[in-house]
Amino acid sequence: MCGIVGLFLKDKALEPKLGAMLSEMLVSLSDRGPDSAGIAIYGAATGNEAKITVQSPKPDRDFRGLDVELAKAIGAPVSVAVKSTHAVIRTTPDKVDAAREALQTLRPDIRIMGAGEAVEIYKEVGLPEAVVDRFGVRAMTGTHGIGHTRMATESAVTTMGAHPFSTGADQCLVHNGSLSNHNNVRRELIRDGMTFETENDTEVAAAYLSNRMAHGKNLGEALEGTLSDLDGFFTFVVGTKNGFGVVRDPIACKPAVMAETDQYVAFGSEYRALTKLPGIDNARVWEPEPATVYFWEH
Amino acid sequence: MPATPMSKAEREQGHAHSQASRVFDLSVHSLRELNQALHSLTPGSNETAWEVLNPKGSHSVAVGVDQPVSIDVRGSVGYYCAGMNDGAAITVHGSAGPGVGENMMSGSIVIKGDASQYAGATGRGGLLVIEGNASSRCGISMKGIDIVVHGNIGHMSAFMAQSGNLVVLGDAGDALGDSIYEARLFVRGKVESLGADCIAKEMRPEHIELLQALLDKAGVTDVKASEFKRYGSARTLYNFNIDNADAY
């Protein structure tokens, strides 16, 4: 099964509530997947700061003193905000690549969840309720976000196998379904310079989109490409720095419901996920069409 | 002989008792309590009117009801609402998730909004009316149910449909009636494409009559039976054809 949610705010007044709203949506779908859960929240990009969300199996050991050591290694100011097993590292945008490289040496056990100017990604094994509580997601502010609760089929139940998957700056993806040609597509993407952390099929979909966008396609065009290049079942919800998109495979057996009001665009695997959103009773609610790309940008 | 006169209060009380719905609020009571109460109904029960509040996308609302009661669900429901219905008149004042009315035996189900995938799947009898749109696989493997959709239906609808009638006032998606047996399909709008072995068929007077009766039953008054086209099986897949051996 798996449960996926997405929320794209149009009304700035709702931004302080983004984390709470998205958490509520995800928790309502807990019985669609008890294995692991994750959320990506996009805050406003300032242009002069980049964020790298990292995870460690031993946070006490790995995050202690990291700010000082990393700042020294890359020659730029660094701050580290620890949240349970994750930490958000802030530095200047031009030092992101240097920081990623330095982390491999300074803290070899650290895994990078995602990076960019706007996105923060939190994911762990466990139920959505436990995961959003662990990372204090309900208190987070933002412009848009996506979330996932997983019933694993294609790879192991691990933190790295949880969604969202991020394979490019401020890009991430959640997936309900399973891909059957992911090994082939992964090989092609590796040949084109993409790198992978897992054996997971969804990571391939995320990397496919990042790769197409790196080749100059916009989000809509990249999503369009999934319909011909990815084989299998999928409903994807993706986030970029300023956008939010949805696409379903032509068979469309993985469920999807969307709602739009003047205040937001929302996605849920089921209508249950949307029932607590403000003004839902008067929202335009519809099922996204198969093989049709939907996207919104700020 | 005149009946014993009742006081006004007695009359009102009696009236209220026989007419008032039994209200089940799903924000207070569990779904299991609702369905158990419905399953406990026995023939001749006085509790003939039920109202379900705050379904909020719950799954399996009012499944397996086997008494001729009326049930009004105030809001949208999730998966499998009214599945296996056998005799009840169930109205959803909202939209329905996947599998609404799956394997209905008899009775009626009215969805005031839209219905998701495989509405009325495998239904054996009764009437399912969807006042909005239905999505993919509407009436898949239907076996005697009548389905009337005011809006459009999605792809692969009436796949392997065996008997019954599917009436669509709007358009149909890709591969309508793929591998169909003897169900009758009536579509007023355009059909994106027909599935294997499904063909357009002549509308003879008996089909107009049948369709008009279905439209009347579904409360459709502003549309004429003559506006529809009929589709059904070409019956070329019924028997194994050795010339097709290469296709397997």
pLDDT at B17 over 60: no
Share of chain B above pLDDT 70, in %: 92
The domain ranges of chain B are: 21-40+47-127, 133-233
What residues of chain A score a pLDDT lower than 70? none
Contact (CB<8Å) A275/B57: yes
The domain ranges of chain A are: 3-45+118-297, 48-117
Q: What is the pLDDT of residues A137-192, one digit of tens each?
A: 999 999 999 999 999 987 889 999 999 999 999 999 999 999 999 999 999 999 99
Share of chain B above pLDDT 90, in %: 87
Does the pTM of the predicted model rise above 0.95? no
What integer pLDDT is reported at residue B3 of this predicted model? 42
Of the ranges B5-14, B18-27, B109-118, which one carries the lowest mean pLDDT score? B5-14
Structure tokens at A182: 């992911």
Contact (CB<8Å) A272/B117: no
CATH 3.30.70.600 matches A48-117: yes
Provide the pLDDT confidence category of residue B247 given band limits of 50, 70 and 90.
confident
Mean pLDDT of B133-152: 98
Interface check A290 vs B, CB under 8 A: yes
What is the spatial distance between Cα A258 and Cα A277, in angstroms, rounded to a whole number?
A: 12
Cα Rg of chain B, angstroms: 21
Active-site residue list of A: 2
Contact (CB<8Å) A290/B116: no
Q: What is the pLDDT of residues B79-101, one digit of tens each?
A: 999 999 999 999 999 999 999 99
Provide the pLDDT confidence category of residue B245 given band limits of 50, 70 and 90.
confident
Separation in Å, CA of A245 to nearest CA in chain B: 21
- Which of A:233-252 have CB within 8 Å of B? 250, 252
Q: What is the pLDDT of residues B166-179, one digit of tens each?
A: 999 999 999 999 99
Cβ atoms of A29 and A128 closer than 8 Å: yes
Neighbours of A57 (CB within 10 A): 11
Q: Which residues of chain A lie closer than 8 angstroms to B113, CB-CB?
A: 285
Question: Comparing C-alpha atoms, which of B188, B194, B197, B190 is closest to residue B166?
Answer: B188
Tell me which residue in B79, B114, B155 faces A287 most closely, judged by beta carbons: B114
What integer pLDDT is reported at residue A154 of this predicted model? 79
Structure tokens at B235: 């019956």
Mean of per-residue pLDDT scores for chain B: 93
Interface check A286 vs B, CB under 8 A: yes
Contact (CB<8Å) A290/B136: yes
What integer pLDDT is reported at residue B19 of this predicted model? 60
Mean pLDDT of B98-127: 98
What integer pLDDT is reported at residue B55 of this predicted model? 98
Contact (CB<8Å) B135/A253: no
Three-class secondary structure of residue A105 per DSSP:
helix
Name the residue in chain A with its Cα closest to that of B76: A271
Contact (CB<8Å) B136/A285: no
pLDDT at B20 over 90: no
Q: Which residues of chain B lie closer than 8 angstroms to A290, CB-CB?
A: 136, 154-155
**Considering the domain A3-45+118-297 in this protein, what is its CATH number?**
3.60.20.10
The string of DSSP letters for chain B reads -PPPPPPHHHHHHHHHHHHSPEEEETTTS-HHHHHHHHHT--TT-S--EEEEE--TT-SSTTTT--S--EEEEES-B-TTTTTT-EEEEEEESS-B-TTTTTT--EEEEEESS-B-TTTTTT--SSEEEESS-B-TTTTTT-EEEEEEESS-B-TTTTTT--EEEEEESS-B-TTBTTT--S-EEEESS-BS-B-TTEEEE---HHHHHHHHHHHHHTT--S--GGG-EEEEE---SSS--GGGGGG-
